[in-house]
A and B are shown apart, each in its own frame.
Chain A
Amino acid sequence: MAQLSEAAVKRINEICDKYASEKTPLMMILSDIQKEYGYIPLDVQEIVSERTGISVAEIYGVVTFYSFFSLKPKGKFVIGCCLGTACYVKGAQQVIDKFSEILGIHPGETTEDGLFTLDALRCIGACAISPAIKINGKVYPKVAVSAVPGIIEEYKKEAKA
């Protein structure tokens, strides 16, 4: 893994210090890092460990427990397919399978061009419009399997633009 830049080390320390007075700061620190960098690799966890006195093993445990955190960089577009109960009975599995098939990746993986990450989500609270997906925060209601190729094309175009 490439050495972390000085700026990144400084920024991560700043994030840690921001929550120095919190009793249990880990989730907040990791959330900020995830939001800012898109992933939390081991050498970043080590810096957090040194700054907070929480062991790397514990931090790694938290990062691998919550699907919100990622060890690897995420793609430019993160496609989250809801597989909660309501979406699931409305055919969400077929929707995610279609994304999987077209993009050539499994849920949790990122395409080689770094464009798309496919995530399986538990209920996103959009049961009334199930099956729902979320791409970089934008929610798509009642997604049909046949609509999947068009959605992917839409983002490919956006990437080129």
Chain B
Amino acid sequence: MSKVNIKIEGVPYQVEAGLTILEAAKACGYEIPSLCTFNHGECSQGSCRVCLVEATGARGLVASCVYPIAEGMEITISSPKASEARRSSVELLLSNHSKNCQECDKNGKCELLHVAQLTGARENVYEGSKTPVSIDRLTPSIKRDTSKCILCGRCIARCKNAHGLSVLGFERRGFKTIVAPAEDRSFADSPCILCGQCTTVCPTGALMEVSEIEKIDAAFKAGKYVVVQTAPAVRAAIGEEFDMPIGTLATGKMVAALKRLGFKKVFDTNFAADLTIMEEANELLGRVKNGGVLPMITSCSPGWINYAEYYYGDLLDHLSSCKSPHEMFGAILKTYYAQKIGVDPKDMFVVSIMPCTAKKFEKERPELGHDGLADVDAVLTTRELGKLIKRAGIRFTKLPDEEFDNDIVGEYSGAGVIFGATGGVMEAALRTAAAVLNGQELEHVELQEVRGLEGIKEATYNLGGLEVKVAVAHGMKNAKVLLDQIREGKSPYHFIEIMGCPGGCVSGGGQPYVKPCFLPNEEDNILDTYRAKRAAALYREDESKPIRVSHKNPQILDLYKEFLGEPNSHLAHELLHTHYNPNRKRF
């Protein structure tokens, strides 16, 4: 790698060639305030002008996030000229911003406020007209408020990178420019899959999840029997809301916090992940034996389901009919469990803590319920759980480690835990399918071939004499490759796992924000490593579990013996399976 010599504030440094001034300065120990740039150029429009510096050889000030370094360049960050220019840029952004910061859900995590503080922005320096505002609160998942948008374009870049086509784009021009789905429509009237990836990169409160904390307050007030379940990915990230390092496994403290928040029972969605595996592995075996539609595709990710319904309505027969795990759990809690503990299901209120914004939409699907009751009543993101814990004054990091409830349901295997990482559902299903088909347990349950962050992973396993070809994709850009193969009749696979978000649920749209400017103690390339770090936490929990295959979870076996009969039984179909809608309009 060739090096170039530069000077920053008069001090000589040797840095890698090809870097931008912003990156070079960071490597030399300087943090230049910046807003629109994100993740090594994933988004770098150079449009916000917050990172202006002086550089020799350039005319005027330059946007350090896009301006490349050159041999002999002398960079000045702290001169009054550069400092005042950066301050003016921020003040101009603030002049077209709805400044109700104290009521904004982004309060405390807002990068605009952060740079306002760094640059010393003054109050109301520029007064004048404001861009006409457009607010979208029609979906249960994501809200959009252009009065807080700084037109950085990060959301557009993320949507495109994750899913191939961006639902969001710049619209109109000049002062009237907004970021919106085409025609400034609601997400509800556009082909948005509600994955929430845009909310994880938005620097301000322009794109956020729709909070359901008030619904939970109302349920408590109404004296409901409020139970909570947490998805596997939540434990691998909730610690970050309390400044714990990325990759901290906080299962015990999370359970302790939920118990202190007044939930009657605190369950692990992993129990239902094990149940999903029983249903899904048996569905796969059935399809293989009876010449059913193959490849079969997993159905745990509601973002992916939305995408399938919008873009691949002709392939819905390939989707497993299994509900997603938290929906299965809701159905079991409001039937089997309610009966066992003598609670009227009408009085039960099931809350799911999920790493996901699409789950908020999913729970409102009319087909996901039973006897007029929704399987799940409220979905909170990991971020909302963080808020709930802070609101209650709980010192999260000081909590003891406590155990999930597992009186009748709730016990889980290591296979359930890894659902939160891309490849996890595949690995869990193969562990069980191998045991059923081979008649004996796998010697090594860790299937490395389907782990990791490769966009598309494939592997072949010999199960009961049958060569089973599998593939795993995450993010719709990758999924599209496998789906187009199926459409063309060229798919070599039997079983495919698809997750909506890149990296799977650990980096879902409802997970804590990973914003380097707020994480001074994490390594510089944290945006490259956080997905793997969170996944590693889940694999650690898997390793620590005495039972690592779903079909050996004793409570799952009891559930079948006492209630459901056998996997894919009539009752199992009624409670645990669903159907999809091929006619959802894109526009």
Which A residues contact B (CB, under 8 angstroms)? 42-43, 45-46, 49, 53-61, 64-65
Contact = CB atoms under 8 A, between A and B. Distances in A.
B584 interface: no
**Chain A contact surface mostly:** helix
Given A42-B587, A46-B587, A57 B181 contact: yes
Among A42, A43, A58, A59: residue with most chain B CB under 10 A: A58
Contacts of B183: 42, 60
A5 B462 CA distance: 53
A59 B182 contact: yes
B298 to A, nearest CB: 26
Given A60-B183, A65-B172, A53 B587 contact: no
19 contacts: A42-B587, A45-B182, A46-B586, A53-B164, A54-B165, A55-B165, A55-B166, A56-B165, A57-B166, A57-B169, A57-B190, A58-B166, A58-B169, A60-B169, A60-B182, A61-B169, A64-B171, A64-B172, A64-B173
Nearest to B160: A55
Contacts of B190: 57
Contacts of A42: 182-183, 587
Interface in B229-283: none
A57 B182 CA distance: 4
B167 interface: yes
A57 B587 contact: no
A60 B177 CA distance: 12
Given A42-B587, A55-B166, A64-B173, 4 more contacts: A53-B164, A55-B165, A57-B180, A59-B182
Interface in B157-209: 160, 164-173, 180-183, 190
A53 to B, nearest CB: 7
Contacts of A58: 166, 169
Contacts of B172: 64-65
B314 to A, nearest CB: 14
Contacts of A55: 160, 165-167, 169
A65 B166 CA distance: 17
A27 to B, nearest CB: 15
A65 B176 CA distance: 10
A61 B587 CA distance: 16
A142 B166 CA distance: 47
Contacts of A43: 587
A61 B170 contact: yes
A68 B552 CA distance: 67
Contacts of B166: 55, 57-58
A46 B185 CA distance: 14
A7 B530 CA distance: 51
B45 to A, nearest CB: 13
B477 to A, nearest CB: 11
A60 B156 CA distance: 14
A42 B173 CA distance: 18
Contacts of B168: 57
B173 A57 contact: no
A58 B160 CA distance: 11
Interface in B392-407: none
Contacts of B182: 42, 45, 56-57, 59-60
B208 to A, nearest CB: 19
A60 B184 CA distance: 10
Contacts of A65: 170, 172-173
Among A45, A54, A61, A65: residue with most chain B CB under 10 A: A61
Nearest to A55: B165
B102 to A, nearest CB: 32
Interface in B121-175: 156, 160, 164-173
A56 B587 contact: yes
Contacts of A53: 164-165
Interface in B544-583: none
Contacts of B586: 46
Among A55, A57, A59: residue with most chain B CB under 10 A: A57
A49 B167 CA distance: 12
A-B pairs with the 4 shortest C-beta distances?
Answer: A57-B169, A60-B182, A55-B165, A61-B169
